[in-house]
Chain A
Amino acid sequence: MSAQTLKEQWFGNVKGDVMAGIVVALALIPEAIAFSIIAGVDPMVGLYASFCISVVIAFVGGRPGMISAATGAMALVMITLVAEHGLEYMLAATILTGVFQILFGVFNLARFMKFIPRSVMVGFVNALAILIFTSQLQHFVDESWIIYVLVGITLAIIYLFPLLTKSVPSPLVAIIVVSFIAIYMNAGVRNVGDMGDLSQTLPLFAIPDIPLNMETFMIILPYALALTIVGLLESLLTASIVDDMTDTESNKNQESRGQGLSNIVAGFFGGMAGCAMIGQSVINVKSGGRGRLSSLVAGVFLMFLILALGNVVVQIPMAALAGVMIMVAIGTFDWSSLRNLNRVPKTDAAVMVVTVATVVYTHNLAYGVLAGVLLSMIFFAVKISKVRVLSLYVNEGRKKIYYVQGQLFFASVTDFVSSINFKDEVDLVEIDLTQSHLWDDSAIGALDSVETKFEQRGIEVQFKGLNGESSRLLNRLGGISKDASH
């Protein structure tokens, strides 16, 4: 990258970036705290993560103007790890995730993201929205009716305040107002301070306190793999959305490496794994943020606010945060996918629903993606395995021509062979493969067996119209030797 573009990416839009960065920092605080609570760790873990990630990614990311921090998607993956093994293992998993993400970027694997079907992506964000929503229900347990009123007020302010002005993020206004109500009324509802410590100190470098052995590695490995997939999926999706909103290009492999480095730094400074955030990035771009400076300002300002106002932050009632999270869930859900559910192909709709169902059942977004991708592959194989075989008698019924249309491979050869009539009283059979393609050993085997069966009855078989790649495969696998490829 030239010094010129780098300068442009940093200082091309200073005023817009600083303003947007401040807005994003204000919007990040409640989310970072809420995501920490989802993962089952102290609020500081999410706040440190958000600070480290947004600062580091400002320097090393591949998509200027995008905001990365502690996210719900990553928090959800880590719940069981934290519950079963504790914070230190989660920090180690965060670091390992970073290493995997760097490798992903170094080997230019971003292009393989295209193998994840769109319906899986839609299922992913919808499942994420549902999980964020359901994770808030615990805050309603063992509370009086007041919590419903407070959450209601929070949501009302979030959605109605923008009508007055859009210069201050409405979730922040909602949190301030609802905090005042709760404290003034002495409502007795749980607040952030009840959920864990909030120390007003800068993050410190520390190596996770875990035994460095194979057993530890095997505990964190599955979580790190899931975090890697989920983090990159959401980050590269968000990068494409920011590309589109700003009508500019981004470097997806650099972004993957940047996400990795940010997670490593976060892990060593006591933060949980994070990734790009769709909602925050949209807020950033809408508020005028375009460059790297916006992410840096967001991180630094967030840390400043926590250091300065930490003792105020612990007073925030959980009801207000729950309200903000419900808004995040509503904003994350892809509502157009519901409108389009009866318009898209049934298989796409099924993939989307299965992705969502798997996530809601397993509480792991990575499993949902896996299930969705597998199901899409099966649907694809089924769709493509449809072969059409047309037949025609010529030479007064002494010769029969079969026209094969479609792909010949392991899933389609049975249909192909069963549509050939071996009992025909003819002298010559011609199989026209002009509109077909041979893909594997099974295809060659099928042609072989067709030829053998006819020859047993003294009927000659000719294959016609093999395309280049198919006849090369045929030669390589040493199938039918004569009359191939005319």
Chain B
Amino acid sequence: MFKNILLATDGSAHSQRAVEQAIQMVSPYKNEVTIELVYAVDGEVSKEDILQYGDSHTATIKRKEKFYETIKEIEANGLTADITILHGDPAESIIEYSNERSYDCVVVGSRGRNKLQTLILGSVSHKLMKYIKAPVMVVK
């Protein structure tokens, strides 16, 4: 059973769908499940957030606040939820973080880029699938 779930999110609608899928997937035993949301901040986002919020502490609080709604939604369904903020390249930092710990399952939303965009920009979900040791579920 997937009880200890890591859910990579970027706050987008695709990540929201991943949250809903994850909740549905574990609904038979939902009271035993913890979903840890993980959000990675890269250099560009750091720059924008520091300009907007002034310092790292405030920026971190503001970033966590963005996910309070999602956490409330998960907890309303009877699961336990938490949010972790990582720093660095999204794919690399999430892979490292999840491989250092043991999760039963890692869930990630797929943004649905077209072939050209994927070719140029690469796909975070693809990298996660390839390098994370735990089972990975990509929600389309």
Structural contact, A244 and B51, CB atoms closer than 8 A: no
Within 43-70 of B, Cβ neighbours of A (below 8 Å) are at 43-44, 46-56, 59-60
Contact flags B18-45 to A (C-beta < 8 A → 1, else 0) = 0000000000000000000000010110
List, in ascending order, chain B residues with CB within 8 A of A118's CB: 51-54
List, in ascending order, chain A residues with CB within 8 A of B54's CB: 114, 118, 240
Structural contact, A282 and B43, CB atoms closer than 8 A: yes
The reply on A247 being an interface residue by CB < 8 A is: yes
List, in ascending order, chain B residues with CB within 8 A of A237's CB: 50-51
The reply on A229 being an interface residue by CB < 8 A is: no
Contact flags A229-252 to B (C-beta < 8 A → 1, else 0) = 000000001001101111100000
List, in ascending order, chain B residues with CB within 8 A of A340's CB: 52
Contact flags B97-116 to A (C-beta < 8 A → 1, else 0) = 00000000000000000000
The reply on B126 being an interface residue by CB < 8 A is: no
The reply on B96 being an interface residue by CB < 8 A is: no
Query: Distance in Å from the Cβ of B85 to the closest Cβ of chain A?
Result: 8
Contact residues of B: prevailing secondary structure: helix
CA distance in complex: A83, B62 (Å): 46
Contact residues of A: prevailing secondary structure: helix
The reply on A95 being an interface residue by CB < 8 A is: no
CA distance in complex: A278, B48 (Å): 11
Structural contact, B55 and A240, CB atoms closer than 8 A: yes
List, in ascending order, chain A residues with CB within 8 A of B120's CB: 163
Structural contact, B52 and A336, CB atoms closer than 8 A: yes
List, in ascending order, chain B residues with CB within 8 A of A125's CB: 51
**How big is chain B's contact interface, by range?**
20 to 34
A241 and B89 contact, Cβ closer than 8 Å, known pairs A163-B120, A336-B52: no
Contact flags B79-91 to A (C-beta < 8 A → 1, else 0) = 0000000011100
Within 75-114 of A, Cβ neighbours of B (below 8 Å) are at 114
Contact flags A152-176 to B (C-beta < 8 A → 1, else 0) = 0000000000010000000000000
The reply on A337 being an interface residue by CB < 8 A is: yes
Within 328-376 of A, Cβ neighbours of B (below 8 Å) are at 334, 336-337, 340
Query: Distance in Å from the Cβ of A170 to the closest Cβ of chain B?
Result: 14
Structural contact, B87 and A244, CB atoms closer than 8 A: yes
A334 and B43 contact, Cβ closer than 8 Å, known pairs A245-B87, A247-B87: no
Per a CB cutoff under 8 Å, which of A163, A246, A282 touches B87?
A246
Nearest chain-A residue to B121 (Cβ)?
Answer: A163
Structural contact, B49 and A334, CB atoms closer than 8 A: no
A residues touching B (Cβ–Cβ < 8 Å)?
114, 118, 121-122, 125, 163, 237, 240-241, 243-247, 278, 282, 285-286, 334, 336-337, 340
Known: A240-B56, A243-B56, A334-B48. 19 other contacts (CB 8 A): A114-B54, A118-B51, A118-B54, A122-B52, A163-B120, A237-B50, A237-B51, A240-B55, A241-B46, A243-B55, A244-B50, A244-B59, A245-B43, A282-B43, A282-B46, A336-B48, A336-B52, A337-B51, A340-B52
B residues touching A (Cβ–Cβ < 8 Å)?
41, 43-44, 46-56, 59-60, 87-89, 120
- 30 intermolecular pairs with C-beta atoms under 8 Å apart: A118-B52, A118-B53, A122-B51, A125-B51, A237-B51, A240-B55, A240-B56, A241-B47, A243-B55, A244-B46, A244-B49, A244-B50, A244-B59, A245-B41, A245-B46, A245-B87, A245-B88, A246-B87, A278-B47, A282-B43, A282-B44, A282-B46, A282-B47, A285-B43, A286-B89, A334-B47, A334-B48, A334-B51, A336-B48, A340-B52
The 7 closest A-B pairs by CB, nearest first: A244-B56, A282-B43, A243-B56, A244-B46, A336-B48, A245-B46, A241-B50
